[in-house]
Structure 1
């Protein structure tokens, strides 16, 4: 169980990603479109090493706030890592994979709560 409410958790993720120099950070509100999660946080990392470091930092810093990672998927070298916190799912992409999977288009009916370029 997470100590933070889903929206607060998603905001914390955006702050950490911004501090760790992720690019094109988007927070999508999926509460009206999905039943398995409330928010997606999408971000672009500039390398596999950046992806790995940011995923690690997110997991450690969120754990310190009482938020437990339920599942992770992918490896940094693949260009896409997913961190599942239940009501908040974090997608760390490298640019090529983000363009290819285009989750913003798939979930185009979701509200964009935050967009930081």
Structure 2
């Protein structure tokens, strides 16, 4: 599974669990760490954990695997290392504080409209 397919699975899984403000940044030309950052937030730590679980389940259902998860289920920020995709699931306030979109402002934003249900 390539990083584009993986990113689509991640976005759809996050949307299924009602993640807020899902953004995908193409960092492939800016960093060797990954091709994409997927950034989202949730309104409670319970929802953060549910989103992470759903993403992991959908990746595994499609034959992939999650390399590493940093943070615990009740954390305000959980980072998932999924091959060439890094997923950040924040509690609302934490996302505002760290503002990764500003830090990676040179990255191109990927249009996810076709993956997210209205």
Q: Same fold (TM over 0.5)?
A: yes
Match of 1:58 in 2: 55
Match of 2:116 in 1: none
Q: Secondary structure at the match of 1:25?
A: strand
Match of 1:103 in 2: 100
Match of 2:83 in 1: 86
Aligned 8 A contact 2:68 2:80 in 1: yes
Query: Structure 2: which 5+ runs fail to align?
Result: 114-118
Match of 1:49 in 2: 46
The structure 1 segments of at least 4 consecutive aligned residues displaced by more than 3 Å after TM superposition are none
Query: Structure 1: which 5+ runs fail to align?
Result: none
Structural RMSD (CA):
1.3
Query: How far apart are 1:115 and its partner, in Å?
Result: 5.8
Q: Secondary structure at the match of 2:74?
A: helix
Q: Secondary structure at the match of 1:77?
A: coil
CA distance in 2, matches of 1:58, 1:15: 8
Deviations 1:4-36 (A, max 9, x none): 210111111111111210010000000110101
Question: How many corresponding residue pairs?
Answer: 113
CA distance in 2, matches of 1:16, 1:114: 16
Residue of 25, 31, 34 corresponding to 1:34: 31
Match of 1:69 in 2: 66
Q: Secondary structure at the match of 1:43?
A: strand
